[in-house]
């Protein structure tokens, strides 16, 4: 992953397929295309998963609420994909039972919920032992004693998976590179180059050096998420359907402030549902869904967003009484949905759609993290059909390509592996880090612990973080502080106290490894300070 070699390759070779955008959609397309035998390149203007793919609810889910919108096809596809993505990375896509409380005066009734969940299980082909279970009022309150008993009439438990969206994206990117794709972050497509009206090149600016160069490719795919229409405008093909961006916010509180025993999906009383998801030392809550027309590169939670989520929590749980002061972090992302006349934010379909322009540019938008593989398959099928039909190419193989150097045979093996890592960490008093470390890195923990052994550093937590940093610089194209603290480790969202402790020593390591000047180092520190301030923006 030497960056000079990658840029040299991008400039000097002609590709079959160039993908613009290193979110989950672009990553999935790169892996699919490379494994079929296409000469594939991908560029990302900032870091992989910088856009929506690090700011989701972080669930691999079938989208229960889409049943209400009668989106059976979507639920069937993404619902079935859950088990596939779990199999590909069982340490990172983790089974999570979801509790759905039912109320006398809000939400769906028990009978409709029971039928809906049965349909959900059936459409997604959920295994019998994981199928939905209806609960009485008493069982529901026993399952989650924090629930406000007033108005509760029962509940249901059903199966989903939780993940880390940014880590899933980077693992798919790494797999694409391992299968021959040429990939670089901090490379922005600034313009298209045409030959007889067909787009067959892209002008690229390196956002770390300000140098520009050209990449040539037979087919170009625009997988730029919320920026899809910006590129369609450059291509002069933004006509007909267009994006409708909606903002979704999550807030993070220490787990002891909202000590739910499992993930809960609850009715807010205004027709919307939100999640409360425990993750290690915190619980996160979200999401909102409001129209967005602001700066695409500066999306953050505002006070009304945070207050809405806090109100919903305080209505649902007793003796919790969250306030703005309890919020430790937050994130906000944009859903790149397809506009439908007369429909509001929450009513818009989550289905993906492909647009083909007269210049040959293929754009893809909409969809879900969960459905990335199927979206990629459709795009690569189209690319092959349009331009490489005569070639002997393999068919889509991504359903069996394990991610993250994983050879886990199933989730039980992950649990056993976690125990061995726990024992190793315990020797250094670091056992509380086992959950995040194994779910973030899977079997790659072995490599990180080898690096740990070689680092001289008296504080064990800093030493472990430096080992992860070294791994991420060498193996995951980390180039800036936020790449590491936000998207490789999630510290900004999930462990702000640890971030505060390790940031300075990690920056010192980065300054040496990257030969940063004092000015560059202080830019990096200022950027992290800005991101921390932004995560707590509504407290000002």
Return d(Cα 44, Cα 51) in angstroms, integer: 10
User: How many residues sit close enough to ligand FAD to count as binding (CB under 6 A)?
Assistant: 39
Return d(Cα 121, Cα 262) in angstroms, integer: 20
Question: With respect to ligand FAD, which residue has the nearer C-beta, 211 or 318?
Answer: 211
Question: With respect to ligand FAD, which residue has the nearer C-beta, 140 or 489?
Answer: 489
Residue 107: what are its φ and ψ, rounded to 5°? 75, -170
* Residue numbers 156-215 binding ligand FAD by CB under 6 A: 188-189
17 binds ligand FAD (CB under 6 A): no
59 binds ligand FAD (CB under 6 A): yes
CB of 386 to ligand FAD, least distance (A): 21
Return d(Cα 481, Cα 492) in angstroms, integer: 11
* Of positions 237, 287, 330, 489, contacts ligand FAD by CB under 6 A: 287
Sign of CA dihedral 113, 117, 119, 120: positive
Asked if residue 287 has a cis previous peptide bond (ω within 30° of 0), the answer is yes
57 binds ligand FAD (CB under 6 A): yes
Question: With respect to ligand FAD, which residue has the nearer C-beta, 24 or 473?
Answer: 24
Asked if residue 223 has a cis previous peptide bond (ω within 30° of 0), the answer is no
Question: Which x/- pattern over 395-434 shows residues binding ligand FAD (rule: CB under 6 A)?
Answer: ----------------------------------------
* Residue numbers 339-358 binding ligand FAD by CB under 6 A: none
Question: With respect to ligand FAD, which residue has the nearer C-beta, 183 or 464?
Answer: 183
* Of positions 18, 43, 320, 445, contacts ligand FAD by CB under 6 A: 43
Q: Closest Cα to residue 179, out of 28, 3, 385? A: 28
Task: Count Cβ atoms below 10 Å from residue 325 Cβ, excluding itself.
Answer: 9
19 binds ligand FAD (CB under 6 A): no
Q: Closest Cα to residue 148, out of 326, 325, 278, 321? A: 321
CB of 259 to ligand FAD, least distance (A): 22
Task: Count Cβ atoms below 10 Å from residue 235 Cβ, excluding itself.
Answer: 19
* Of positions 23, 62, 154, 490, contacts ligand FAD by CB under 6 A: 23
CB of 221 to ligand FAD, least distance (A): 11
223 binds ligand FAD (CB under 6 A): yes
Name the 3-class secondary structure at 197. Answer: coil
Concatenated DSSP letters for 153-193? Answer: EEEEEEEEEE--HHHHHHHHHHHHHHTT-EEESSEEEEEEE
Contact 65, 346 (CB under 8 A): no
Question: With respect to ligand FAD, which residue has the nearer C-beta, 332 or 502?
Answer: 332
| Structural tokens at position 244 | 């409708």
449 binds ligand FAD (CB under 6 A): no
Question: With respect to ligand FAD, which residue has the nearer C-beta, 60 or 253?
Answer: 60
363 binds ligand FAD (CB under 6 A): no
CB of 376 to ligand FAD, least distance (A): 10
* Residue numbers 303-342 binding ligand FAD by CB under 6 A: 333-336
Return d(Cα 230, Cα 238) in angstroms, integer: 9
Sign of CA dihedral 286, 287, 292, 295: positive
Positions in the binding site for ligand FAD (CB under 6 A)? 20-26, 43-46, 50-53, 55-59, 61, 188-189, 223-227, 231, 248, 287, 333-336, 367-370
């Amino acid at each position: 992953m030497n960056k000079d070699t990658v840029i040299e390759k991008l400039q000097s070779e002609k590709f079959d397929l160039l993908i613009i955008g290193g979110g989950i959609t672009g990553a999935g397309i790169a892996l699919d295309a490379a494994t079929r035998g296409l000469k594939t390149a991908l560029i990302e203007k900032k870091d992989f998963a910088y856009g929506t793919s690090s700011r989701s609810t972080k669930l691999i889910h079938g989208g229960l609420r889409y049943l209400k919108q009668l989106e059976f096809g979507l639920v069937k596809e993404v619902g079935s994909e859950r088990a596939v993505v779990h199999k590909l990375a069982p340490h990172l896509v983790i089974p999570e039972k979801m509790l759905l409380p039912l109320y006398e005066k809000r939400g769906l009734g028990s009978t409709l919920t029971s039928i809906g969940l049965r349909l959900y299980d059936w459409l997604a082909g959920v295994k019998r032992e994981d199928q939905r279970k209806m609960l009485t009022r008493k069982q529901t309150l026993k399952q989650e004693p924090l629930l406000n008993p007033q108005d509760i009439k029962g509940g249901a438990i059903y199966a989903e998976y939780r993940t880390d969206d940014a880590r899933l994206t980077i693992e798919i990117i790494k797999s694409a590179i391992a299968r021959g794709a040429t990939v670089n972050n901090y490379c922005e497509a600034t313009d298209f180059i045409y030959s007889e009206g067909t787009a067959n090149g892209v002008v690229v600016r390196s956002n770390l050096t300000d140098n520009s160069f050209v990449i040539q490719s037979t087919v170009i795919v625009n997988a730029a998420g919320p920026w899809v229409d910006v590129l369609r405008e450059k291509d002069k093909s933004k006509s007909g359907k267009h994006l409708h961006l909606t903002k979704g916010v999550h807030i993070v509180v220490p787990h002891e402030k909202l000590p739910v025993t499992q993930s809960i999906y609850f009715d807010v009383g205004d027709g919307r549902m939100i999640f409360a998801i425990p993750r290690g030392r915190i619980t996160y809550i979200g999401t909102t869904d409001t129209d967005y027309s602001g700066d695409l590169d500066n999306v953050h939670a505002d006070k009304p967003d945070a207050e809405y989520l806090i109100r919903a929590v305080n209505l649902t749980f007793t003796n919790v009484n969250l306030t703005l002061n309890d919020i430790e972090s937050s994130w906000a992302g944009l859903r790149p949905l397809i506009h439908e006349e007369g429909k509001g934010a929450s009513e818009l379909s989550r289905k993906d759609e492909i647009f083909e322009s007269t210049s040959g540019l293929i754009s893809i938008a909409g969809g879900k993290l969960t459905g990335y593989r199927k979206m990629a398959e459709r795009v690569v099928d189209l690319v092959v059909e349009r331009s490489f039909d005569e070639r002997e190419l393999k068919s889509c193989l991504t359903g069996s390509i394990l991610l993250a150097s994983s050879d886990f045979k199933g989730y039980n093996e992950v649990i056993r592996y976690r125990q061995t890592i726990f024992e190793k960490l315990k020797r250094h008093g670091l056992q509380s880090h086992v959950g995040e470390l194994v779910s973030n890195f899977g079997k790659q923990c072995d490599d990180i612990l080898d690096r740990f052994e070689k680092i001289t550093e008296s504080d064990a937590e800093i030493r472990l973080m430096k080992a992860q940093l070294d791994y991420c610089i060498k193996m995951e194209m980390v180039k800036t502080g936020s790449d590491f603290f936000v998207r490789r480790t999630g510290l900004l969202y999930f462990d702000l106290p640890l971030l505060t402790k390790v940031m300075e020593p990690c920056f010192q390591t980065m300054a040496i490894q990257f030969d940063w000047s004092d000015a560059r180092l202080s830019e990096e520190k200022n950027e992290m300070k800005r991101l921390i301030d932004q995560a707590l923006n509504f407290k000002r």
